[in-house]
Every structure is written in C-alpha cells, then in structure tokens.
Amino acid sequence: MQSKVKALFNGLRKFNTKYFNSDASKYSSNSFIIIFLSILSISGLIILLSASSYLTIKYESSRFFYVIRQAGFTIIGFIVMIIFSKIDYNFYKKYGGMFYIISIILLILCYVPFISSPINGAKRAIKIFITFMPSDVAKLFVLIALSKLLITNYKENDEWKNGFFKIMIFIFIPFILIFFQTDLSTSLVLLFACLSVYFIYGFNKKFLLVLIPGILVSVLSLKFILKPYQIDRLIAFLNPEAYYDDISWQVLNGLFGFSRGGVFGVGFGKGIYKHGYLSNEVINDMIFSVVGEEFGFIGAIAILLLVFIITYLVIREAMKSKDIYAKLLCFGIGMVYFFQSMINIGVTISLVPNTGITLPFISNGGTSLIAFFAMFGVVLNISRQNKYLEKNENNKNKKNV
C-alpha cells in the first residue's frame, strides 16, 4: 500500500515538474480574456437573480437560491480555469487519444441503467458521485483529440482517401452518441466546431464534393432521423402563430418579452414574461429573453458584443500561435463558445428552431459553466505560451542586430 501511495506522489511530482513548472508560467495570459469573462459572469449572476424570481416563489425556496448556487459554480469555475491555465497544453497534445476514449466512454454511460440520470426523459446526464453532463466534457476532450489527430496524420491527411474519411468517422462517433441522447443542439455545436477546425487545418476542394451532398442527404433524411417532437418544432418554427398554445408558447412569449423591452428595457426585476410564460427554462434556454425585456435592445446588444469580443480574442490567440496544434485547439474552443452562444440567442429571437442549449456564463447550470471555464483555461495557457515564445523571439532578434 505504501509503495502505491509513494508511486502516486512520484507521478504527481513528475507531472508538476513537466507540465506546471515550465518557463512559460512566468508570463501572464491575455488579461482582456479574463476581464471580459469576469464581466460576462457577473452580468450572468445579475440576470439570473431576476430571471429566477418566479421559480423561487413557485418552489418556495430562498430568493437567492439559484444565484448563490451559480455563484458557487462560478468560483469553482474560476479555480478550474486558473488550474488549466497553468497546465502546459503539450500535455493534451501528448495524451489526445486518451481524452477521446474518456469522452466516448462517458457518452456511452449515458445509456447505461443506474448510471444514467435522465433529465426530462432525455439521457444526457450520468451520476458518478456527482451528476453531470458528459456532452459538456466531450466538447473539450474531442477537440483536444481531433487537433492531435490532425497534426499527427499531417502527411496522411494530404491523401484524400486515408485522411478525410478517417477524420469524419472520428467526429461522427461522438456526434451520433450525443445526437441520440436527444441533444440535437449540443451535437450540432460539436459538429460545427470540429468541421471549423478541419476547415482551417487545410481546406481541400474535395471536401465540398462530400459536404454538399452530405448536407442534402441529411436534410432529406430528417423525417426518419428526428424524434416526433423535434419535427413538430421544425414545423412550428415555420408557422409559430399557428402553434401558440402549444409548441411555440415559449418562443413567442420570448419575442413578446423582447418587444416589451424596447430600447432601454422595463428595468431590472420588472419583467413579467419570466413569471410562467417561459416555463422553467427561463433560467436556462430562454434567459436571453429576460435580458431583452428588462435591459432592452441596449442590454441585448451589450451581451452580443461581449460574445463577439471574447470570440475575437480567442481566435486572435489561435492565429498568433506558431504551434499548429495550439492553433487548432484554441480555434476550436472559440468556435464551440461562439456557436453555442449563437444557437441559444437564435432560438430566443426565433432565428433558429427551438432547441435546448445554455447561454455560456449566463444561463443556470454547473456542468456547462465549469466546462467552459476549463476550455478558457486551456486558451489562457496557449496565450501564456504565445507571450513566452514571442519574448524569446524578440530577444533573439535583438542579439542578432
């Protein structure tokens, strides 16, 4: 027993020396990312305080129940982000395959009785000591593995037959596992992000020869792939007024809330559509409607600007990186954040069909929040490494002058 404990401590010591105590740790990460994430997180807590008021009355809980819980997750998330920002991203590069296997195992566990913890009938969560959603973890782990696969098969991927189809199968496995959890929105976010990473890795015209027919076949197959309620949502999206008393209830009331908010909003806490008109999803999928009603067009644009600024900062760090792996991973994380934010906002303002997904750093939810903080921790480490390499390059140039 003592030998096992000693081996564990030796392993942790080696890991700390190799992946924590790098020279790059002396440099600070992109402070603008931290500042804007802090602003967004604090804004989220303020919005949640108002959005949850009806639910606290409905369930006879403390006025600050949801906010205090979310604040706790936010603090944990910031700690996780700091830890991940200290871990050299080369650790993920080295063990990319392991992260992929872990993500697939976790996603499969959603279908295992006694471990799966269904949410509203959907098998999206598992309970192993704590309840969490593997799809939130998979978004990061699959990107870690995909970036590794792309760089390790660089020459092979130049060959169309060997490269493209291998990568598509690699992406398709987690996509289909999440899709059949009846989590269409998360599966699409993962798919879009992975395809974006593959696109910037090295666009091949032959990609379109498969992608365009693939999209057409997918659209034509929707009737056979989607669940009945998902098909109903698509139909209701095309003619929402005809389904006001049923499927379109949430979305139309969300739009009514936006129109009531006008330019400057009705004021913090004074919204009425959060009182049962958006159901229990008022603190999750439909929280952006509360922003529109209480803070108006100005408040909604402010949140949108924060999303665009943070996405831009992440992509800029990706483009600055001279390591192809870091570039791909950082870009993928930026795309996950952007696509998920846009789908949530698009649903709320009826630009895309109704599908449940959280608005990062704003919506209620612990797993999603902590997972995104972890992703941005990886981005911050890449930023730190960028500064370190840039400083070394500048020093070399000065010596050569």
Chain centroid to Cα 134, Å, comes to 12
- Nearest-angstrom CA–CA distance, 270 and 363: 19
Average pLDDT, the chain: 83
Residue 19 has pLDDT above 50, yes or no: yes
Higher local confidence (pLDDT), 239 or 309: 309
Confidence of residue 127 (pLDDT cuts 50, 70, 90): confident
Q: According to the model, what pLDDT value does residue 157 have?
A: 47
Of all residues in the chain, the percent with pLDDT exceeding 90 is 44
Confidence of residue 304 (pLDDT cuts 50, 70, 90): very high
Please tell me the least confidently modeled range out of 36-40, 89-93, 207-211, 379-383: 207-211
Report yes or no: 125 and 119 within 8 Å, Cβ to Cβ: yes
DSSP code of residue 132: E
Confidence of residue 257 (pLDDT cuts 50, 70, 90): confident
Q: How far is CA 394 from CA 31, 242, 391, 397, 399, in A?
A: 21, 64, 5, 5, 9
Q: How far is CA 47 from CA 39, 190, 258, in A?
A: 12, 27, 15
Q: What is the mean pLDDT of residues 343-348?
A: 90
Q: What is the mean pLDDT of residues 117-143?
A: 83
Residue 237 has pLDDT above 60, yes or no: yes
Q: What is the mean pLDDT of residues 368-392?
A: 88
Q: How many CB atoms lie within 10 A of CB 177?
A: 21
Q: According to the model, what pLDDT value does residue 331 have?
A: 96
- Nearest-angstrom CA–CA distance, 71 and 366: 10
Confidence of residue 14 (pLDDT cuts 50, 70, 90): low
Confidence of residue 281 (pLDDT cuts 50, 70, 90): confident
134-187 confidence digits (pLDDT tens): 999 999 999 999 999 988 865 544 555 556 778 888 999 999 999 888 788 888
Task: Report which residue type is found at 275.
Answer: H
Residue located via tokens 């209830």: 249
- Nearest-angstrom CA–CA distance, 364 and 356: 13
Q: According to the model, what pLDDT value does residue 280 have?
A: 79
Chain centroid to Cα 350, Å, comes to 21
Please tell me the least confidently modeled range out of 252-256, 267-271, 308-312: 252-256
Confidence of residue 222 (pLDDT cuts 50, 70, 90): low
Residue located via tokens 């063990």: 95
388-401 confidence digits (pLDDT tens): 776 766 666 656 65
Higher local confidence (pLDDT), 262 or 210: 262
**Closest among 375, 360, 346, 339 to 193, alpha carbons compared:** 339
Q: What is the mean pLDDT of residues 264-269?
A: 92
Report yes or no: 33 and 310 within 8 Å, Cβ to Cβ: yes
Q: How far is CA 142 from CA 106, 146, 251, 301, 385, in A?
A: 12, 6, 32, 32, 22
Q: Give the sign of the dihedral formed by CA 387, CA 389, CA 392, CA 397.
A: negative
Helix, strand or coil, per DSSP, at residue 131: strand
42-66 confidence digits (pLDDT tens): 999 999 999 999 898 888 788 899 9
Please tell me the least confidently modeled range out of 5-19, 230-244, 331-345: 5-19
Calculate helix-pair angle for 366-400, 65-86, nearest 10 degrees: 30
Q: What is the mean pLDDT of residues 14-18?
A: 57
pTM of the model: 0.88
Q: What is the per-residue DSSP string for 105-128?
A: HHHHHTTSTTTB--BTTB---EEE
Q: How far is CA 103 from CA 112, 141, 166, 319, in A?
A: 15, 6, 18, 27
Of all residues in the chain, the percent with pLDDT exceeding 70 is 75
Report yes or no: 42 and 77 within 8 Å, Cβ to Cβ: no
